[in-house]
Chain A
Amino acid sequence: MIELKNVTKEYDLPPGQPGQLVAADRLTLDIPDGEVFGLVGPNGAGKSTTLKMICGLLLPTAGHITVNGVDVETQPEAAQQHIGYLADFFSVYDELKVWEYVDYFARAYKLPPDKIPARVREVIAQMGLETKYDSNVATLSRGMKQRLGIARAIIHDPPLLVLDEPASGLDPKARLELKDLLRAMHRAGKTIFITSHVLPDLEEICTSLAILEKGKLLRHGKIADVMRSAGQTRRVRIRLASPEFALESWLSAHPGVSEVLHSAGATEFIFPGTDADLAALIREAVLAGAAIYSVEEKTDSLEELFARLSTGEVM
């Protein structure tokens, strides 16, 4: 759906600082159809710049981008018909009514005129703004304006949604609604390209992920692959119903187990084996008399992964 080839964008650093700022450094990405692709990175990593280049709003300093097989630079209008774009900061036309706002974009995207009124109603309902249909846009709350922005982005039913930090500034309830909406879009077969500087936003909904820092792609691929390739190991935590059994020393004696820690009624350790190996280990411990009532597997959260990647621990 989206293909980036050596896409580079250079800016000037503020006056006084020599050299230039590379907001996107030879990015090469291929995002297949139907993917929910998350682009994470701290503020100033170059996420918005990358998105704007995909939408044809900024021309890359070098490199090529195609969306749905259409070159964004040479045929921007043809490419834009496949894209629904939501910017990180935007405002809406305050003087218009909600339906007029959506209607304007329906016509600007050249939907068939006879289908427009129905489509406008449908999208407004989908965003839960039916009650505001005839209200002035100026009277909407922040979250409602965000939803109106999404209504605008999906009005022409594009196969690709490009969303720049859609969750920022929303309250927790609105965030949940946004996630539900994105899941529904995903089920409907849309490709979604979404950015965030907060990882938990993406963790649950993305199928693949790229980590961007200072314009460079640190990692990209399927979520699980990204995590595994970062050298992630399995950390297991076991809780005992009665503390009589000396689990710590029992585990330490077991080959392969390392970094055994005991704290507050739980024992944590690192285990390199497979799932079957772990099952065998637990069986053995139970047979040896450990009153195990809980076994948890702790995976690195994306947050921790990101923290390690961006401090150069892995790179």
Chain B
Amino acid sequence: MFSNPEFSRNVRSQLRPGKMATSAAIAAALSFVVVFALNHITTPAAGPNGWGFGLLRGLFWLQALILAAGGGIACVNAIYKEKEQNTFDFQRVTRLSPLELSLGKLFGAPIFMHFLCLCSAPIVIFAAAKGGQQFTTVLAAYVVLFVASVAFHALALLLSLLTVRGSHTSAIIGVLILLWMSANASTFLSPYLHLGSLSPFYASEIAVQDHWTLASSSFDQPVRFPLVVIDSFFGHAVHHFPVVIILDVLFLAWFLLALARNIKRDPTQYELYSPLQSLGIVLFVNVAVLGFIRWDSAGLMDIQAALLTINGVVLGSLGLAQLRNRDRTRRILRTQEQAAPSWVNLTWPAPFLFVAAVGAGLLVSVAASFAHSSLMEWNPAFSVFRSLFFAAWIIRDTQFLQWMVLRRGKRALLMGVVYLSAFYACVLIALNAFGTFREVENLPFTAFFLPTPIYYLDHAAWAFRPAIWGAAFVAQWIFIALFIYAQRNTILELAHPATSEPVPVAAD
């Protein structure tokens, strides 16, 4: 790593000896004060492990905060600042490969936060000794802290690459929200998934686990502190530690792929993933989620709703990544098209999303039909219909955004997202006011606007008002056609050559 010039540049500029000595001294002083105070204040009734475990847990939580949040902010700044100060172009013209540059920034930008964590190692070791904690457990906690933080840093760096002038603050807030969500995702998902937290904050839980053995074979109650966290992958009990490491490394790999694909490109031509890679991500997320699902803990319909929600988030993000801005569209038109723009280019990203969303929907349906018990009604035809409806909804919104992005104007994407959010807010308020969510026979009306009713669409719901359900489905495709038509007009406008004057004849 030290042979990576970008990494050593960060080390040189962030870790000057004076700064390091000061931080180390402050950390040492703080550690001393904390240990001294705890030694005097705590009563003997602090539990079998004394205050050692409490301190250990707190310390890892704090380190996760420093490394993930502090390092995340450093990563958001990393590329954005370089672009802002016109130093980024000079990195792009060097012979550093895109991967070297990405890795140098990934480990280099948050280097000071890594150093701060190193400074707190002595008090961590002290607390572990005091609580009689195993060495392997503390080491495992550090590994989780490091790997999960680096995966998060990669995401922050990706965000930094995409941050445009003037949205720096929002990017920082966005990263902090993402961190908060990743720390709490397992709580939201625990009714559906046998999967513990993937965030760096899990380090504080594993740091205080009692033992490494997989004692419990019942997954019905989430196993809590101070016991071991156990996941279930396709029915096999596994310790959460390898799961966190493997999943976070895989996420890291996906983020790094996007970084390395784009970091040296012309910023107007960024394409986070190729369509095929995006399909790979959809498959990866679905396999991971299906592997950990609790088929027994909730109704099949609820599980399917959860799966489709997850897919909605993933496909939504990938759909955003597939949007083409005016510059890219122009280039595609000028370099690839001979006569008229092809239908794929005129309707992009609908073809991609159709394949991805229908595929994901069918995958969910197939998995559900394998897992369903004979007690539940499970109709494959409705399952397919749900997939198509789900695909239509994703395509509708993405196509709207694509049209917005192709229109002229600053921050076209942001405006599109704002309009879309406003649309959903109004719809929710209006539908709530009419009470359409409360009665099952009114549910199909909401399906015109929102996808959620279709998650629960079964024979009974369909039988109430089949015509309205059908109309809602058709309506989605009409919307899509409208947006594609608008997009087509914009593209054709772009396709006309800007000038028809002859090339000026130059002197010889």
Seen from chain A, the residues whose Cβ lies within 8 Å of a Cβ on chain B are: 8, 10, 12, 15, 19-20, 22, 25-26, 28, 52, 55-62, 76-77, 80-81, 83, 85, 87, 89-93, 95-96, 100, 104-105, 107-110, 152, 156, 210, 216-221, 225-226, 229-230, 315
Q: Known contacts A20-B498, A62-B334, A108-B6: does B94 contact A216 (CB below 8 Å)?
A: no
Cβ contact within 8 Å between B503 and A90: no
Q: For B165, what are the chain A residues with a Cβ–Cβ distance below 8 Å?
A: none
Q: For B87, what are the chain A residues with a Cβ–Cβ distance below 8 Å?
A: 90-93
Q: Measured between alpha carbons, how far is A152 from B503 in the docked complex, in Å?
A: 37
| 10 residue pairs, one from A and one from B, having the closest CB atoms | A95-B13, A229-B507, A108-B94, A107-B5, A62-B334, A59-B266, A90-B86, A108-B5, A91-B85, A104-B9
Looking at chain A's contact residues, the main secondary structure is mixed
Q: For A230, what are the chain B residues with a Cβ–Cβ distance below 8 Å?
A: 507
Give the distance to chain A from B263, nearest Cβ to Cβ, in Å: 12
Contact partner of B90 (CB less than 8 A), chosen from A76, A85, A315, is A85
Give the distance to chain B from A152, nearest Cβ to Cβ, in Å: 7
Q: Measured between alpha carbons, how far is A156 from B5 in the docked complex, in Å?
A: 15
Cβ contact within 8 Å between B334 and A15: no
Cβ contact within 8 Å between B96 and A15: no
Q: Measured between alpha carbons, how far is A108 from B499 in the docked complex, in Å?
A: 41
Does B269 interact with chain A (Cβ within 8 Å)?
A: yes
Give the contacts of B64-105 with A (CB-CB under 8 A): 85-87, 89-97
Q: Known contacts A93-B9, A96-B9, A225-B507: does B93 contact A85 (CB below 8 Å)?
A: yes
Q: For B504, what are the chain A residues with a Cβ–Cβ distance below 8 Å?
A: 216-218, 315
Cβ contact within 8 Å between A10 and B498: yes
Tell me the nearest residue of chain A to B494, going by C-beta.
A20
Q: Can you name 24 A-B residue pairings with CB atoms under 8 Å?
A: A10-B330, A15-B408, A25-B499, A26-B503, A55-B89, A61-B334, A76-B264, A85-B93, A87-B86, A87-B89, A89-B86, A90-B86, A93-B13, A95-B13, A100-B12, A104-B5, A104-B9, A107-B8, A108-B94, A108-B96, A109-B94, A109-B95, A220-B507, A225-B507
Q: For A105, what are the chain B residues with a Cβ–Cβ distance below 8 Å?
A: 5, 90, 94
Give the contacts of B392-411 with A (CB-CB under 8 A): 408-410
Tell me the nearest residue of chain A to B508, going by C-beta.
A221
Q: For B459, what are the chain A residues with a Cβ–Cβ distance below 8 Å?
A: none
Does B335 interact with chain A (Cβ within 8 Å)?
A: yes
Seen from chain B, the residues whose Cβ lies within 8 Å of a Cβ on chain A are: 5-6, 8-9, 12-14, 85-87, 89-97, 264-266, 268-269, 326-327, 330-331, 334-335, 408-410, 498-499, 503-504, 506-508
Q: For B14, what are the chain A residues with a Cβ–Cβ distance below 8 Å?
A: 95
Q: Known contacts A25-B503, A96-B9, A225-B508: does B95 contact A62 (CB below 8 Å)?
A: no
Cβ contact within 8 Å between B85 and A83: no
Q: For B89, what are the chain A residues with a Cβ–Cβ distance below 8 Å?
A: 52, 55, 57, 85, 87, 90
Q: For A76, what are the chain B residues with a Cβ–Cβ distance below 8 Å?
A: 264
Q: Measured between alpha carbons, how far is A315 from B506 in the docked complex, in Å?
A: 10
Tell me the nearest residue of chain B to A60, going by C-beta.
B331
Give the distance to chain A from B318, nearest Cβ to Cβ, in Å: 23
Cβ contact within 8 Å between B13 and A96: yes
Q: For B85, what are the chain A residues with a Cβ–Cβ distance below 8 Å?
A: 91
Cβ contact within 8 Å between B331 and A59: yes
Q: Known contacts A81-B95, A108-B96, A110-B95: does B5 contact A61 (CB below 8 Å)?
A: no
Cβ contact within 8 Å between B97 and A58: no
Cβ contact within 8 Å between B90 and A87: yes
Cβ contact within 8 Å between B95 and A61: no
Tell me the nearest residue of chain A to B502, going by C-beta.
A26
Q: For B13, what are the chain A residues with a Cβ–Cβ distance below 8 Å?
A: 93, 95-96
Tell me the nearest residue of chain A to B85, going by C-beta.
A91
Tell me the nearest residue of chain B to A79, going by C-beta.
B93
| A91, A108, A218 — most chain B CB neighbours (10 Å) | A108
Q: For A10, what are the chain B residues with a Cβ–Cβ distance below 8 Å?
A: 330, 498
Q: Known contacts A12-B408, A58-B266, A104-B9: does B326 contact A19 (CB below 8 Å)?
A: no
Q: Measured between alpha carbons, how far is A15 from B409 in the docked complex, in Å?
A: 5
Q: Known contacts A22-B499, A95-B13, A226-B507: does B335 contact A62 (CB below 8 Å)?
A: yes
Q: Measured between alpha carbons, how far is A20 from B494 in the docked complex, in Å?
A: 9
Tell me the nearest residue of chain B to A96, going by C-beta.
B13
Give the distance to chain A from B113, nearest Cβ to Cβ, in Å: 17
Q: A19-B498, A58-B268, A59-B268 are in contact. List 10 more A-B contacts (CB 8 A).
A: A12-B326, A28-B503, A59-B265, A61-B331, A85-B93, A96-B12, A104-B8, A105-B94, A220-B507, A230-B507
Q: For A91, what are the chain B residues with a Cβ–Cβ distance below 8 Å?
A: 85-87
Q: Measured between alpha carbons, how far is A28 from B95 in the docked complex, in Å?
A: 27
Q: For B95, what are the chain A residues with a Cβ–Cβ distance below 8 Å?
A: 77, 80-81, 108-110, 156
Give the distance to chain A from B324, nearest Cβ to Cβ, in Å: 14
Q: Measured between alpha carbons, how far is A8 from B506 in the docked complex, in Å?
A: 16
Tell me the nearest residue of chain B to A105, going by C-beta.
B94
Q: For A221, what are the chain B residues with a Cβ–Cβ distance below 8 Å?
A: 506-508
Q: For B5, what are the chain A residues with a Cβ–Cβ distance below 8 Å?
A: 104-105, 107-108
Q: For A100, what are the chain B residues with a Cβ–Cβ distance below 8 Å?
A: 9, 12
Q: For B269, what are the chain A residues with a Cβ–Cβ distance below 8 Å?
A: 59
Give the distance to chain A from B1, nearest Cβ to Cβ, in Å: 13
Q: For B498, what are the chain A residues with a Cβ–Cβ distance below 8 Å?
A: 10, 19-20, 22
Q: For B92, what are the chain A residues with a Cβ–Cβ distance below 8 Å?
A: 56-57
| A10, A22, A100, A217 — most chain B CB neighbours (10 Å) | A10
Give the distance to chain B from A119, nearest Cβ to Cβ, in Å: 14
Q: Known contacts A10-B498, A100-B12, A220-B507: does B410 contact A15 (CB below 8 Å)?
A: yes
Tell me the nearest residue of chain A to B13, going by C-beta.
A95
Give the distance to chain A from B67, nearest Cβ to Cβ, in Å: 22
Cβ contact within 8 Å between A80 and B94: yes
Q: Measured between alpha carbons, how far is A105 from B87 in the docked complex, in Å?
A: 12
Q: For B94, what are the chain A residues with a Cβ–Cβ distance below 8 Å?
A: 80, 105, 108-109
Tell me the nearest residue of chain A to B87, going by C-beta.
A91
Q: Known contacts A87-B86, A110-B95, A152-B90: does B507 contact A219 (CB below 8 Å)?
A: yes
Q: For A55, what are the chain B residues with a Cβ–Cβ distance below 8 Å?
A: 89, 93
Q: Measured between alpha carbons, how far is A85 from B94 in the docked complex, in Å?
A: 10
